[in-house]
Structure 1
């Protein structure tokens, strides 16, 4: 996953839609993990697998040494899978927030929501404005 080929939400989640265009991977951006600091815990219930979650709704939390933040859906979808490797080693997000750092895999419900997310260039402008 190349960060230039991903889409980004204002909540600092990224989404990657591979070739099959039905399923996508969701994670947090490098900027977000850097702002959070050392990540120590992901709280995502297995019971969300198969659940439909609308865009901008929370699907879990991420805990760093000094803070806890909600994880938000960038677009509406069904939860297909949780990256179990991160549940046992959440600190990997600090090392690789893209690629193996995906948090959930979803089935996309609203492709027009995907099209409304920011490109890499737009996201870079967005984070520099908020600094």
Structure 2
């Protein structure tokens, strides 16, 4: 199990040939209270960098991007009725979607935990 991060504040939990994707604690904190989440449909083919989900808060709306290329295999249906899961458990129950890993080499371009923490410290 490996966790990677993007500079767009997504986290990627890699388990075998599947990746679970959500937004980081830093991102949910910046957004504020989440009021709506739209997740992608299973079967959707995505390329790294595509906008694939939407998160809306009381402050703003933001896209969630595909951190890697692959196929969406599941959206988190719980977020439809409980978008606040993104606030209470951003890197747990508040995940957005699961996808196949189409090109594992793309994971090498993402940040590890220390790199992401340093990136965020540079933003403050």
Q: Quote the residue 1:32 is aligned against.
A: 27
Q: Quote the residue 1:122 is aligned against.
A: 115
Which structure has greater strand proportion?
2
Q: Quote the residue 1:69 is aligned against.
A: 62
Aligned counterpart for 2:11 among listed residues 6, 9, 14:
14
When the two structures are superposed, what TM-score results if normalisation uses the length of structure 2? 0.95
Residue correspondences, number: 124
CA distance in 2, matches of 1:26, 1:105: 6
| Alpha-carbon offset, residue 43 of structure 1 | 2.0
What is the RMSD of the two structures over their aligned residues, measured on CA atoms?
Answer: 1.3
CA distance in 2, matches of 1:101, 1:42: 10
5+ unaligned residues in a row in structure 2: which ranges? none
Moved over 6 A (4+): none
* Other structure's SS at 2:111 match: coil
Tell me the alpha carbon deviations over residues 57-85 of structure 1, each in whole angstroms, 9 at most, x when there is no partner: 10021000010000101111100000101
5+ unaligned residues in a row in structure 1: which ranges? none
| Alpha-carbon offset, residue 121 of structure 1 | 0.3
Q: Quote the residue 1:112 is aligned against.
A: 105
CA distance in 1, matches of 2:82, 2:53: 16
Tell me the alpha carbon deviations over residues 9-68 of structure 1, each in whole angstroms, 9 at most, x when there is no partner: 0100000012xx1111000000000000000001235xx321111111100210000100
CA distance in 2, matches of 1:66, 1:10: 21
CA distance in 2, matches of 1:27, 1:61: 11
* Other structure's SS at 1:6 match: strand
